[in-house]
Structure formats: structure tokens, C-alpha cells
Amino acid sequence: MCLRVVALLERFLFLSLLVSVSFPSCGSTKLEKTLAIIKPDGLLGNYTERVKETILESGFSILKEKTIQLDEDSVATFYAEHSAKNFFSSLVRYMISGPVLVMVLEKENAISCWRTLMGPTDASKAKITHPYSIRAMCGTNYEKNCVHGSDSPRSAQREISFFFSADAVTPHDEL
């Protein structure tokens, strides 16, 4: 019983600190959409609800979501800009290792705010420099960093349409 209370208290403190942390790059008033992916390590590590709660408590709306199992071709197409990099084959293996949760998030300045909330790409560094970020919470290293986010409005548009065609709307269910 005592351990459960401590776990609940830790979760409350984590979420309180995360919400209370100011995000200086999130000051714009432009309403945007961005793509967010909870990667296989996030889903298989049972971080899904915690990540979604953090998203909602940080002021985002989850407009659409779906859980899918990616195949090699879809991962290679989605991450095509990284195809010449030495980590590409490892990235493909990782992204097909289990299901992913794909979401469309909306908020003022969503792209920048989501990237800030995710934290640095290298989760081991995030644990030191951004301890309240999502990658610090559930990532382990540069590759297994739990989440993905669009890096620009152009990428957000391409990535959202990659997973959500106009006729395949999947509304979000509230927690």
C-alpha cells in the first residue's frame, strides 16, 4: 500500500513539474498541427497513457490517433531523408520491432512545443539536461528514444498525410 502511494505521489510530482516548467519557445499564437509517434519502446514499455496524459496536461489536443504495426517499406518511405545515414537500417529494424501509436496533436505553436516536450533526441542526455521531458521519462538512448515529432510545418503536413489520409479519420478517445 505504501509503495502504491509513493508511486502515485511520484507520478503527481512528475506531471506537476512537467506542466509547471516554462517552455520559452512555445510563445507563438499560431494554432498548428504536428505528428507525434509513440515508438515501439514506448508502447511495449507501458508508457502510452503516461505520455498521452502529459500531452493533454501540456495543453495539446489529440485530434486523431491510431495504433499500427509498420513494415519495412513504410518505415523506409517515412524516414527517407535518413536513408543515406549509417543508422538507417537500425532505425528501420527498431521501428518495425513492435506497434506504434501515431497521433495528430494541435496547439498554438504545436511543432516547437511538442519538440520541447519530447526533449533531446538522445534520451540518455535528456535524462541529464531535460529530466522532465518525455524522452527522459521513457527513452533509453539515441535510437530508442520513445517518441517522434515533426520538425517543421512542411514535415508535419507530409507526416500527417502519410498516416492519416482525408478519408481515414480516427478521432481521439478522451482518457
Binding-site residue ranges: 39, 87, 115, 121, 135, 145
Pull the grid cell for residue 108.
498554438
Which residue ranges make up the annotated binding site for ATP?
A: 39, 87, 115, 121, 135, 145
- Non-local (6+) Cβ contacts of 2 within 8 A are none
Element containing residue 157 per DSSP (H, E): helix 153-163
148 is catalytic: yes
Distance CA 29, CA 83 (A): 35
Active-site residue identified among 82, 130, 148, 172: 148
Paired residues of 66 in beta bridges:
102
Q: Using alpha carbons only, what angle is made at residue 26 by residues 48 and 82, rounded to the nearest 5 degrees?
A: 60
Q: Using alpha carbons only, what angle is made at residue 172 by residues 53 and 21, rounded to the nearest 5 degrees?
A: 25
Pull the grid cell for residue 99.
506497434
Helix, strand, coil in percent for the chain, rounding step 5? 50, 15, 35
Cell 500500500: give the residue. Answer: 1
Question: Which amino acids are annotated catalytic?
Answer: 148
